[in-house]
Structure formats: structure tokens, C-alpha cells
């Protein structure tokens, strides 16, 4: 039977978002407007000839003379009245205070030639529509992780000065992404089937410090660029949210209630690196490190399920046997759930290399062995405590013998696994409830009770 060949390749009807533009001022401003609309058109936005049909209106202002400023303010006022969702750019944008004094509710203000920022503001106000027939890249971007989990980078760089690290000199100071940008990315990932968002950065708890916690608009509400606010909003997306590289700053306490109420996973990856105050000082570590044990106890009191993962370094320059013993004793008290350990390596360019009393390699190794053995016993004990409980398990892989997954306490690649029986028909990415029947030093075994 003849079939219309075109019918199978016609793009589905998409409803493109529309942008209105009011362009004031000189030809330079007009060229700026052209660049902005060219970029937006290339992304699939339509231009609206009137206020009523626009999802958002850009007003490209002129601020050369007082009369031009007055005209710009009038144009912003008109767009606010007629549409209400307005982004201001152009020469008058350098005087944000004057604009906000007259029109406090404009969505964003950017200056002349800030095309990227205007386009970003449009993305935040009305995300671009994805057309699977035209776009080369899926809306969630291309990823190298399995389909059901994804890393979500919330900032670049770092403001700390740890003496063993050269990341700040390589990647620069902390540069956080606006909260709305992170949230739109997370939303796209979840829509594409991601079940677990792994929040990463160099210093997750410092998120937004560089932006002075400025809010950005997501789903019509203002979300401050603040660690706790971001965690809460990410938790509203319906996927597991796992927080990595958190330092024990005092405000981290505020995320614990989100964990006990189930908004984000009760899991904290805190790279403590050491416990001896002397070594931590030489390492120049950030965070409130003096009272860490008290903090851990308080967190566990408020959220008994909290799983803590950490990394440590043995053989840091100047580390004595006494310092090392302090670390072992600290671990006995802290009962960290998951632990990674590195032997100190002098990274070229790191200031720690200039410290006196380097630790000989055999001593580094011997301390590494002792630390791992010490932790193994703690880990085995912690995991034994989960036997008999029913935990949610996210399935990573399935084979003839059953399925391998992870509980809330296990990040992919670095922590342990949950091996489940009664796995018939399970697929990677499935979420099940499993009753834990057995444990070892690092892993758990269980039986599927139900599927979620
Ligand atoms: S080790 Fe210290 S300086 Fe390096 S990235 Fe982490 S917090 Fe920043």
C-alpha cells in the first residue's frame, strides 16, 4: 500500500516560545538588537510583532542623553504594562539602579553588547523549545554516564588555598552558575530519564558566594544562588539528589533537615583529608574543622540515616605518628561510612612541597594500610546495621545472576553496591525496594520486595 513518505518525517508541531523586541537608540544599539534576535531565532524562538503575543519582551535602551533615558524608561514602563515580563538591555542597562527604581519588577537588566547575558535571561524566562528534527544535540546535552544518573556541575574554580592543591591556579576563583541555569539543566536531565543527580563542583557548599547569592528566575519564582536553596529546589524534581564535595561550613547544618524529610539523599561527601588540627592547618583546609566531630554527631542526631563519605591523605609533610594516631582515633569516633585514601603526592606547583619533614614513602604506605584496615572494620560494622532494613535501590546493571544497584549511601563508581536477587525483568535505572539480607566490608545483598 502506498504510504505518504513525507508524513513520517514531518516535524511534530512545536510551539515555539516568542520574544518581543523594542529597539531604541542609535545604529549600534540596532546592531546589538539584530545579534540578539539572530541568536534567538537560531535557537527556535519566534519574534512577536506585538506585546500580547510575546512570552517575554526585550527592551534595548538608549542612555546617551537625559531625554533618551526618559524615553527608555517610558518604553520599559509600556512593556511592563502591556506584557509584564521584561528584560532590559542596552546603554541604559549600565544604570540598573535607575531602572529598578522606576520598574522594580523587570526580570533582568544587562548592559550594551552583553548578548550572551540577554540570551541567558531569555532562556531563564522562557526556555527554548527542543525540536528533535532540527537540533543536533538532545535538550539535556550529550553525556558520558549511563542514562539513569548524571553529574550536575554547579560551579567552576575555588576560592580556597589548600596547600596541596593547584586547582585554583588552574581553574581560577569560584564562578557559580545562576541557580536557574542549574535547575533548568537538572529539569532537562530528569525529563530525559535521569533518576539521580550528582551535584559536583570544587566546593559545593560555597555555591553562590561569588554571586552574592543573587536570585534568578526559575519556573516563575526567584531562587537564590545559595547551597541550601539550590538543594531544596533540586529535590523537588523527583530524582535522587546526592551532594558531593561539601565542606563543613556552619550553613551546611541547614541541609540536614532536607535530608531527614527526604528532599535530598541523606548522603554527604565531605573531603576531610585529615583530622589532626596541626596537619589540617598545614593543609590550609576550609570549613569549620575544629568542631567536626560535634557537628557529625548533631547531624546524625537530626538525621540518623545520614551516610558520610570522605577522603583522607596519609603522609602529608610533617605528619607525625601522633597526628596519624589522632586521625585513627577520630575515625573511631566519627564512624564515617565510606572512605577513600590517598598517599600524599607532591603535585608540581603546590605550596605543600615546600613544607619541612616530608614523610618517607614506606611510612606513607604503612599508614595507608593501617588506615584502610581501620576503616574496613568501621565500614563492616556500619553496613551490618543495615541488614534487615528495607532500602530503596537504584539498579545500575543486570546480568544472569541478578541485578547490581546502589542505595542512598552509595555514589556510583566510588562507594559500594547492593546485589539484589529476584531481579527478573529489572532494567538499569529501575528503582526498587529491597530488604537487606547480608553485608560485607563494602557491599550489601538483598531481595527485591517491590518496584517503585
Ligand atoms: S583541595 Fe582545596 S583548594 Fe583544591 S579545589 Fe578543593 S577546596 Fe579548592
**What are the φ/ψ torsions at residue 439 (nearest 5 degrees)?**
-145, 160
* Structural domain total, the chain: 3
| Residue 354 counted as domain residue | yes
Shared domain check, 301 and 249: yes
* Distance in angstroms (rounded) separating the CA atoms of residues 293 and 142: 41
Q: Which among 286, 289, 344 is the best mutation to test ligand 1's pocket, defined by most ligand atoms within 8 Å of the CB?
A: 286
Please tell me the predicted confidence (pLDDT) of residue 28. Answer: 67
Instruction: Please say which residue of 125, 157, 192 terminates a domain.
Output: 125
Identify the band that residue 31 occupies on the pLDDT scale cut at 50, 70 and 90: confident
Shared domain check, 343 and 208: yes
Q: Where are the beta strands (DSSP E) in 27-120?
A: 46-48, 56-61, 86-90, 108-109
Q: Which helix (H) or strand (E) holds 197?
A: strand 196-200
Task: Give the model confidence (pLDDT) of 91-142 as tens digits.
Answer: 888 888 889 999 999 999 988 777 778 888 998 888 887 666 666 666 666 6
Verify whether ligand 1 is closer than 6 Å to residue 160 (CB atom): yes
* Distance in angstroms (rounded) separating the CA atoms of residues 269 and 256: 13
Verify whether ligand 1 is closer than 6 Å to residue 237 (CB atom): no
Residue-wise burial string across 45-75, b where 16 or more C-beta atoms lie within 10 A, e elsewhere: beebeebeebbbbbbbbbbeeeebbebbbeb
Grid cell locating 26: 542609535
Please tell me the predicted confidence (pLDDT) of residue 41. Answer: 84
The arithmetic mean of pLDDT across residues 235-243, rounded, is 97
Does the pLDDT of residue 424 top 50, yes or no? yes
Report the nearest atom of ligand 1 relative to the CA of 161.
3
Shared domain check, 280 and 171: yes
Please report where in the chains the cell 500580547 appears, as a residue: 52
Expressed in angstroms and rounded, the spacing between residue 247 Cα and the centre of ligand 1 is 10
Verify whether ligand 1 is closer than 6 Å to residue 203 (CB atom): yes
Task: Give the model confidence (pLDDT) of 348-404 as tens digits.
Answer: 889 999 999 999 999 999 999 999 999 999 999 999 999 999 999 999 999 888 899
Instruction: Please say which residue of 110, 125, 140 terminates a domain.
Output: 125
Grid cell locating 330: 577520630
| Residue 232 counted as domain residue | yes
* Distance in angstroms (rounded) separating the CA atoms of residues 106 and 51: 15
Domain of residue 59, CATH code: 3.40.50.12160
Shared domain check, 303 and 198: yes
* Distance in angstroms (rounded) separating the CA atoms of residues 203 and 41: 37
Verify whether ligand 1 is closer than 6 Å to residue 158 (CB atom): yes
Does the pLDDT of residue 4 top 50, yes or no? no
241 close to 284: Cβ distance less than 8 angstroms: no
Report the nearest atom of ligand 1 relative to the CA of 245.
6
Shared domain check, 153 and 106: no
Grid cell locating 98: 535607575
Query: What are the DSSP calls for 403-429, one per residue?
Result: EEEE-TT--TTTS--EEEE--TT--TT
| Residue 140 counted as domain residue | no
Domain of residue 308, CATH code: 3.80.30.20
Verify whether ligand 1 is closer than 6 Å to residue 18 (CB atom): no
Q: Which among 160, 248, 273 is the best mutation to test ligand 1's pocket, defined by most ligand atoms within 8 Å of the CB?
A: 160
| Residue 442 counted as domain residue | yes
Tell me the pTM.
0.74
With H, G, I as helix, E, B as strand and everything else as coil, classify residue 257. helix
Q: Which among 165, 287, 347 is the best mutation to test ligand 1's pocket, defined by most ligand atoms within 8 Å of the CB?
A: 165
Does the pLDDT of residue 3 top 60, yes or no? no
Shared domain check, 161 and 264: yes
Please tell me the predicted confidence (pLDDT) of residue 112. Answer: 77
| Residue 142 counted as domain residue | no
In this structure, the dihedral spanned by the alpha carbons of residues 94, 100, 106 and 112, taken in order and rounded to 10 degrees, is -10
Residue nearest to atom 7 of ligand 1 (CA): 160
Please tell me the predicted confidence (pLDDT) of residue 5. Answer: 33
Shared domain check, 221 and 106: no
Residue nearest to atom 4 of ligand 1 (CA): 165
Domain of residue 434, CATH code: 2.40.50.140
Verify whether ligand 1 is closer than 6 Å to residue 280 (CB atom): no
Shared domain check, 221 and 325: yes
| Residue 136 counted as domain residue | no
| Residue 138 counted as domain residue | no
Shared domain check, 295 and 361: yes
Instruction: Please say which residue of 356, 382, 408 terminates a domain.
Output: 382
Shared domain check, 209 and 317: yes
Shared domain check, 296 and 354: yes
Expressed in angstroms and rounded, the spacing between residue 344 Cα and the centre of ligand 1 is 15
Expressed in angstroms and rounded, the spacing between residue 157 Cα and the centre of ligand 1 is 9
Residue-wise burial string across 21-37, b where 16 or more C-beta atoms lie within 10 A, e elsewhere: bbbbbeeebeebbeebb
Structural domain of 212: 149-382
| Residue 1 counted as domain residue | no
Output the CA torsion sign for 408, 420, 336, 385: positive
Expressed in angstroms and rounded, the spacing between residue 64 Cα and the centre of ligand 1 is 45
244 close to 282: Cβ distance less than 8 angstroms: no
228 close to 254: Cβ distance less than 8 angstroms: yes
Verify whether ligand 1 is closer than 6 Å to residue 162 (CB atom): yes
Task: Give the model confidence (pLDDT) of 159-196 as tens digits.
Answer: 999 999 988 888 889 999 999 999 999 999 999 899 99
Shared domain check, 422 and 300: no
Amino acid at each position: 500500500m502506498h504510504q505518504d513518505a513525507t508524513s513520517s518525517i514531518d516535524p511534530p508541531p512545536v510551539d515555539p516560545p516568542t520574544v518581543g523586541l523594542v529597539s531604541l537608540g542609535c545604529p549600534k544599539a540596532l546592531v546589538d538588537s539584530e545579534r540578539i534576535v539572530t541568536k534567538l531565532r537560531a535557537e527556535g524562538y519566534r519574534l512577536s510583532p506585538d506585546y500580547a503575543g510575546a512570552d517575554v519582551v526585550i527592551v534595548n535602551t538608549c542612555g546617551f542623553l537625559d531625554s533618551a533615558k526618559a524615553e527608555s524608561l517610558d518604553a520599559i514602563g509600556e512593556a511592563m504594562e502591556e506584557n509584564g515580563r521584561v528584560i532590559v538591555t542596552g546603554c541604559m542597562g549600565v544604570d540598573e539602579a535607575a531602572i529598578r527604581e522606576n520598574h522594580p519588577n523587570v526580570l533582568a537588566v544587562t548592559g550594551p553588547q552583553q548578548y550572551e547575558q540577554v540570551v541567558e535571561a531569555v532562556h531563564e524566562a522562557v526556555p527554548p523549545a527542543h525540536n528533535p528534527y532540527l537540533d543536533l544535540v538532545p535538550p539535556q546535552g550529550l553525556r558520558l554516564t549511563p542514562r539513569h544518573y548524571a553529574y550536575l556541575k554547579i560551579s567552576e574554580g575555588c576560592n580556597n588555598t589548600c596547600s596541596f592543591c593547584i586547582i585554583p591556579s588552574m581553574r581560577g576563583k569560584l564562578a557559580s552558575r545562576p541557580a536557574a541555569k542549574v535547575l533548568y539543566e537538572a529539569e532537562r536531565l530528569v525529563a530525559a530519564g535521569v533518576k539521580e543527580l550528582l551535584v559536583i563542583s570544587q566546593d559545593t557548599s560555597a555555591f553562590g558566594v561569588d554571586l552574592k547569592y543573587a536570585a534568578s528566575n526559575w519556573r516563575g519564582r526567584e531562587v537564590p544562588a545559595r547551597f541550601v536553596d539550590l538543594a531544596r529546589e533540586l529535590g523537588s524534581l523527583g530524582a535522587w539528589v546526592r551532594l558531593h564535595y561539601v565542606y563543613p561550613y556552619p550553613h551546611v547544618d541547614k541541609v540536614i533537615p532536607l535530608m531527614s524529610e527526604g528532599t535530598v539523599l541523606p548522603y554527604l561527601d565531605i573531603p576531610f583529608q585529615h583530622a589532626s588540627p596541626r596537619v589540617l592547618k598545614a593543609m590550609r583546609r576550609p570549613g569549620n574543622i575544629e568542631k567536626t566531630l560535634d557537628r557529625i554527631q548533631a547531624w546524625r542526631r537530626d538525621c540518623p540515616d545520614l551516610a558520610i563519605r570522605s577522603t583522607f591523605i596519609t603522609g602529608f609533610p610533617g605528619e607525625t605518628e601522633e597526628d596519624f594516631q589522632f586521625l585513627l582515633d577520630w575515625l573511631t569516633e566519627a564512624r564515617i561510612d565510606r572512605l577513600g585514601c590517598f598517599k600524599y603526592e607532591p603535585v608540581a606547583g603546590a605550596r605543600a612541597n615546600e613544607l619541612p619533614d616530608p614523610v618517607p614513602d614506606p611510612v606513607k604506605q604503612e599508614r595507608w594500610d593501617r588506615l584502610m584496615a581501620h576503616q574496613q572494620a568501621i565500614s563492616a560494622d556500619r553496613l551490618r546495621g543495615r541488614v534487615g532494613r528495607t532500602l530503596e535501590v537504584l539498579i545500575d546493571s543486570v546480568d544472569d545472576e541478578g541485578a547490581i544497584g546502589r542505595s542512598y549511601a552509595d555514589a556510583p563508581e566510588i562507594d559500594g553496591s547492593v546485589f539484589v536477587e529476584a531481579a527478573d525483568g529489572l532494567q538499569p535505572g529501575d528503582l526498587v525496594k529491597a530488604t537487606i539480607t547480608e553485608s560485607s566490608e563494602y557491599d550489601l545483598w538483598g531481595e527485591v520486595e517491590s518496584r517503585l
